[in-house]
């Protein structure tokens, strides 16, 4: 089967899912790659795209063992018919639980035919210099594994002509894990460091930060993604609510052992 081009669709507040998906795209598609970044609060509408005769790669982070809710809303605009898709979940070295299964199920619901899946590791959104969690991942070793993954995908696509594509099996359970209700907290701003540059507001995927004479965050609608924390050029945005400090400490002690990317083809 011939693939005309490769589409990359990703939601990636702190950039690790984007890095992984772009690396896969480069390996498979070379220069014939189109990108649809669903991260900004004003995101591209994919309703009119169809993706047939192309390979689509969808990459998203794992939040509490599931897909971020905003990813569901943004992806659900797509309607396609049997277009081939590779689904990729990126997680912070704890677990990906049911997220990859949920993404595979969602891709089927949108009309895609999933041919491969992967779980990669990205620096945890809550990682700090003093409590590093999967720091700087995906790293060179992760990206070198992309080559192997891409080879296996290409080999599978070669065989697809006239062959029935068997349903892809990925880890996870039905019903999916239930995420506990999140308390109403959000990153805050250290006034003494902040120059009111507005980067935090620009990068917020859900548009809940307003910068005027001070930085105002609508904590009710914050998704805790930490895009604002990682992007702040003055280290003025911090997420140090006691609940997050506790999570960070537990992750740092329970998830020390390096996990490796896994492929399902
Ligand atoms: C709200 C939230 C929940 C998360 N839950 C998990 C999880 O269940 N397991 C895990 O290993 N990492 C978890 N992470 C870490 C992210 O999956 C990880 O940092 C990922 O690389 C972020 O992707 P991005 O850089 O594309 O935004 C969570 C992060 C956030 C913000």
Find, among 135, 103, 96, the residue nearest to 252 by Cα. 135
List own/partner pairs for 134-141 with CB under 8 A and 24 or more apart.
Answer: 134/92, 134/93, 134/255, 134/258, 137/16, 137/93, 138/16, 138/19, 138/20, 138/23, 138/90
pLDDT of residue 116: 98
Does the CB atom of residue 205 touch ligand 1 within 6 A? Answer: no
Distance 60 CA to ligand 1 centre (A): 9
pLDDT at 162: 65
Mean pLDDT of 231-247: 98
Delimit the domains of the chain by residue range. 6-175+258-264, 188-240
Q: For ligand 1, is residue 36 a contact (CB within 6 Å)? A: no
Q: What is the pLDDT of residues 113-159, one digit of tens each?
A: 999 999 999 999 999 999 999 999 999 999 999 999 999 999 999 88
Share of the chain above pLDDT 70, in %: 99
* More reliable by pLDDT, 164 or 173: 173
Task: Point out the least confidently predicted range of 3-7, 61-65, 154-158, 243-247.
Answer: 3-7
**Is the shortest distance between the CB of 90 and ligand 1 below 6 Å?**
yes
**Per-residue pLDDT band at 95 (split at 50, 70, 90):** very high
Say how far apart CA 208 and CA 118 lie, in whole Å: 31
Q: Which of 11, 19, 57, 63 to mutate to test the pocket of ligand 1 (most atoms within 8 A of CB)?
A: 63
6-175+258-264 with 188-240: one CATH topology? no
The pLDDT value recorded for residue 1 is: 67
**pLDDT for position 47:** 85
How far, in Å, from the CA of 132 to the mean position of ligand 1? 14
Q: Mean per-residue pLDDT for 104-110?
A: 97
- Residue 66 class from Cβ within 10 Å (0-12 exposed, 13-18 middle, 19+ buried)? buried
Which residues on neighbouring strands pair with residue 215, listed in sequence order? 211
Closest ligand 1 atom to 93 CA: 11
CATH fold label, 188-240: Alpha-Beta Plaits (3.30.70)
Which CATH architecture does the domain made up of 6-175+258-264 adopt? 3-Layer(aba) Sandwich (3.40)
Tell me which residue has tokens 């910068």: 211
Report the Cα–Cα distance between both ends of the chain, in Å, rounded.
17
Q: How confident is the model at residue 253 (pLDDT cuts 50, 70, 90)?
A: very high
Nearest atom of ligand 1 to the alpha carbon of 96: 9
Q: Each residue of 26-35: pLDDT tens digit?
A: 999 877 899 9
The CA 67 to ligand 1 mean position distance, Å, reads 10
Nearest ligand 1 atom, CA 223:
1
Q: pTM of the entire structure?
A: 0.97
Strand partners, 37: 10
Helix ranges restricted to H, 99-191:
99-109, 140-159
Atom of ligand 1 at shortest distance to CA of 17? 26
Residue among 71, 138, 79 at smallest CA distance from 108: 79
Q: Count H helices, E strands: the chain?
A: 7, 10
Question: Does ligand 1 come within 6 angstroms of the Cβ of 11?
Answer: no
Q: Which residues contact 140 (CB under 8 A, 6 or more apart)?
A: none
Is 230's C-beta closer than 6 angstroms to any atom of ligand 1?
Answer: no
How much is the pLDDT for 76? 94
What pLDDT is stored for residue 161 in this prediction?
A: 73
Q: What is the mean pLDDT of residues 175-189?
A: 95
Spatial distance between the Cα atoms of 100 and 109, rounded to a whole number of angstroms: 14
CA of 3 to the centre of ligand 1 (A): 31
Query: Is the beta carbon of 172 within 6 A of some atom in ligand 1?
Result: no
- For residues 228 and 196, the answer to whether their CB atoms sit within 8 Å is no
* Mean pLDDT on 17-45: 93
Calpha distance 54→260 (Å, rounded)? 29
């Amino acid at each position: 089967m011939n693939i005309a081009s490769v589409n990359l669709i990703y939601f990636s507040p702190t950039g690790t899912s984007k890095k992984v998906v772009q690396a896969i795209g480069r390996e498979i598609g070379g220069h014939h790659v189109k990108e649809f970044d669903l991260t900004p609060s004003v995101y591209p509408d994919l309703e009119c795209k169809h993706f047939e005769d192309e390979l689509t790669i969808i990459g998203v982070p794992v939040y509490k063992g599931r897909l971020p809710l905003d990813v569901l809303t943004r992806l659900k605009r797509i309607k396609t018919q049997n277009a081939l898709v590779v689904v990729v979940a990126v997680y912070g070295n704890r677990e990906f639980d049911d997220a990859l299964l949920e993404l595979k199920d969602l891709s089927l619901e949108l009309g895609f035919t999933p041919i491969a899946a992967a779980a990669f590791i990205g620096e945890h959104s809550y990682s700090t210099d003093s409590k590093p969690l999967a720091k700087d991942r995906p790293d060179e070793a992760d990206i070198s594994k992309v080559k192997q993954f891409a080879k296996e995908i290409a080999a599978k696509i070669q065989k697809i002509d006239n062959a029935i594509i068997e349903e892809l099996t990925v880890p996870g359970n039905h019903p999916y894990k239930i995420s506990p209700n999140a308390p109403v907290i959000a990153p805050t701003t250290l006034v003494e460091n902040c120059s009111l540059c507005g980067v935090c507001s620009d990068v917020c995927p859900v548009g809940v930060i307003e910068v005027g004479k001070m930085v105002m965050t609508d904590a009710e609608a914050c998704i805790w993604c930490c895009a604002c924390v990682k992007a702040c050029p003055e280290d003025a945005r911090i997420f140090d609510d006691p609940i997050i400090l506790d999570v960070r400490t537990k992750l740092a002690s329970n998830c020390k052992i390096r996990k490796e990317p896994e492929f399902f083809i």
